[in-house]
Structure 1
Amino acid sequence: MEDEMTGTETPKVAVLWRGDREARRDATPENNRFYRIFEELTALGIHAEPAVYSDEMANEVRKQLLKVNGVLVWVDPIHEGQTRVVLDALLREVALRGPWISAHPDVILKMGVKEVLHRTKHLGWGTDTYLYRTTSVFRAEFPSRLELAGPRVLKQNRGNGGQGVWKVELISPPASESALVRVLHARRGSVPQAMALGDFMARCEAYLTPGGCLIDQPFQPRLPDGMIRCYMGADKVVGFGHQLIKALIPPPPEGPDSDAAQPGLRIMSPASAEPFQALRAKMELEWTPQMMDVLNIDVASLPIIWDADFLYGPRTATGENTYVLCEINVSSVFAIPDQAPATIARLVKERLRR
């Protein structure tokens, strides 16, 4: 079949997500959560096929990906004890042999990890952010910051679902290793715990393995006002999601599993939504180009879909909102605004033309 876009065979794109062998066998473009992306790709004359992945099926998935022109990937860094180590090696190999990958593992390691919060802290979305790569530096510097600056949030470099993200506040100064702290994990269902600071820091040493690090930011008091997820198609905003999150907020008296402890619905809005136009302008005109410059990423290498999660910072003297970046998601951005599937398909078409 001829394609008017290239004058050659219809281009092929694989949509990859994690699943077992049964899911791979039964997958169709219609029976998964990405069905609208399949529809939009098909509407633009692009053949899109499911590529359900697990480490056990790596060889057959590799063979499949080498037969397509591009791969769209939705796989979390950590899922039920599984990581992306095998998958990332596979994707790098495939990319070297021709097909483009979004998001490429090397791009994820630049912008889809918590270290980006430290590398870009001087941008307008930054805050009082520190990085610890070794246990010795962490133990030497963190206690004094906790005592002087108030509650802090520690984040492991790669994770999702609140894994390895902790709110820490000092109960009994001075901040020695025997001082009591109150810690709260960001994973759903967590409750505050009181423990010695030294014991908590020992728990965090698992995040400081070779190649790992801990990011240290101040706790944002306006967290109860919610989080704004700014969805990006390459370098342009495609929509927003606002959600009253409950992570790092102590659970209500009803308990951590009660209805009152669950996060609110994420309210999706198009890129044109009036409440977020100041943020949109900052993202498109300032922060994204500045981030690309810092991280040495060009537009063609940006993920086709990614998001930047913001908390509300202090209001300005005139009452306007400021925004503090709390993470960038690249590995598996879903759910997405209604407008995003069409944008994803359009960006895929542009990359196929290149």
Structure 2
Amino acid sequence: MKNKIFIIEYQKGSDKGFDGFRADTKPILDAIEKETNYKTEIVFYKPNRKYELLDYLKERARAVISRINPGNLKEVDEYFQFLKALGNSGVEVHTHPDVMINLDFKDILAKLKGTRLGDDETYFYHTYTDFVRKFPEHLNKHGIRVLKTNYGSTGEGVYLVSKKDDGSVFSVEAVNNEKFYYDNINEFLEKFESKFEEESENAAYFKGKTGFVGCRYLQRISEGEIRILLVNNKAISVVHKKPQEGEFSATLFSGAKYNYESPNEEKWKDVVELTMEGLKDIKPFLNGQNYPLLWTMDYILDYDEKGKDKYILSEINCSCVGITTELQYAKDVANVFAKKEKKLKKK
């Protein structure tokens, strides 16, 4: 009988506790058992035994929660296909790969242009040829740009690029604050070519996903990044991420400080309202699936034409958002399954 909720983990990665599990895995499952009648179990995804795991889960799982950072996997596309197969067999998959492939990549920022969440000066350079043709013009226009690899986390693959009056180019990598100097734009373009990955011919999910997204540099990043933490379509927390002095990245790995606050506080009213309204703009990218189980929308402050605060979407994360330091949110995750259980009982 399918009466279990499973969390899928991966044995490798820097996100493990002393017991080999993510620190938020057991609290989430404990909360589900407390709030519902479902039993729970943790399983590990092993690429060489994925078909055995697929059969095991098909037979027993009502739902699975993927808690694998895709950056830890060598064959991410293969894992997404594994999750897709589970979904096709009738198992609830949180978060479904059709959703992750659209929202968890930086190109969503370019796709949202023309909506209340999008910024019109955001571009996606899928190929190096496209980058060479367009980026110099965008850098000339603004003088400074942020380049983000289409898929990355913890500030990895994010560069601040600026052009000086003498035509030289200066770049800083967010993850380690490493600085690079180039005599001119051509030298920069030549050296940057190696950062464009080749697209795999066998990829099913990752077609058209290599490349970089170019965004405006927002000076108010020094004031911090504002993260809305959501469970499905409900905002459960606002996280103020303050960068370390002199840094332009607001990740824990770059020394940022995180402060969790209630979404009901008056000072966050505008950004929470923008997020709730913005869900309508995101819905077309869900491919008919639910909103992610546990996810975030990150914003950087800017000024509008009247000098008032304006929030610019900088990133969406939905593949493996951690709540290790705020385990009380495990109950919010569990309530998703409690509501589904009640609906099933009414049928």
When normalised by structure 1's length, the TM-score is 0.81
1:291-302 map, 5 Å: 291-293=282-284, 295=285, 297-298=287-288, 300-302=289-291
1:78 counterpart SS class: helix
Q: Deviations over 1:26-47 (max 9, x none)?
A: 768xx84322211210012221
Say if 2:272 is the partner of 1:280. yes
Residue 203 (structure 2) aligns with:
none
Residue 64 (structure 1) aligns with:
56
Kept in 1: contact 2:237–2:261 (CA 8 A): yes
Amino acid at match of 1:307: T
Residue 254 (structure 1) aligns with:
none
1:62-141 map, 5 Å: 62-66=54-58, 67-79=60-72, 82-127=74-119, 128-141=121-134
2:84 counterpart SS class: helix
Kept in 1: contact 2:2–2:61 (CA 8 A): no
Residue 233 (structure 1) aligns with:
231
1:301 counterpart SS class: coil
Residue 33 (structure 2) aligns with:
42
RMSD value over aligned CA atoms? Answer: 2.9
List alignment gaps of at least 5 residues for structure 1: 1-8, 174-178, 252-260
Structure 2 distance, partners of 1:69, 1:266, is 35
Residue 191 (structure 1) aligns with:
178
Kept in 1: contact 2:10–2:46 (CA 8 A): yes
List alignment gaps of at least 5 residues for structure 2: 200-207
Residue 332 (structure 1) aligns with:
320
Amino acid at match of 2:177: S
User: Do the aligned partners of residues 95 and 247 (structure 1) sit closer, same or farther apart at CA in structure 2, a change above 3 Å counting?
Assistant: farther
User: Do the aligned partners of residues 53 and 190 (structure 1) sit closer, same or farther apart at CA in structure 2, a change above 3 Å counting?
Assistant: farther
Shift of 1:216: 0.9
1:223 counterpart SS class: helix
Amino acid at match of 2:45: Y
Q: Deviations over 1:121-166 (max 9, x none)?
A: 2222322111222222211111121011121011121111222211
Say if 2:302 is the partner of 1:313. yes
Which of 133, 151, 156 aligns to 1:163? It is: 156
Structure 2 distance, partners of 1:119, 1:193, is 30
User: Do the aligned partners of residues 264 and 250 (structure 1) sit closer, same or farther apart at CA in structure 2, a change above 3 Å counting?
Assistant: closer
Q: Deviations over 1:199-257 (max 9, x none)?
A: 43342454353322321111110111111111111112111111112498279xxxxxx
Name the count of aligned residue pairs.
322
* Greater mean alpha carbon deviation, residues 141-150 or residues 45-54: 45-54
When normalised by structure 2's length, the TM-score is 0.83
Shift of 1:169: 0.4
Structure 2 distance, partners of 1:170, 1:108, is 34
Q: Deviations over 1:46-97 (max 9, x none)?
A: 2111122243443443233222111111222313x73522211211111111
Which of 218, 221, 229 aligns to 1:220? It is: 218
User: Do the aligned partners of residues 347 and 207 (structure 1) sit closer, same or farther apart at CA in structure 2, a change above 3 Å counting?
Assistant: farther
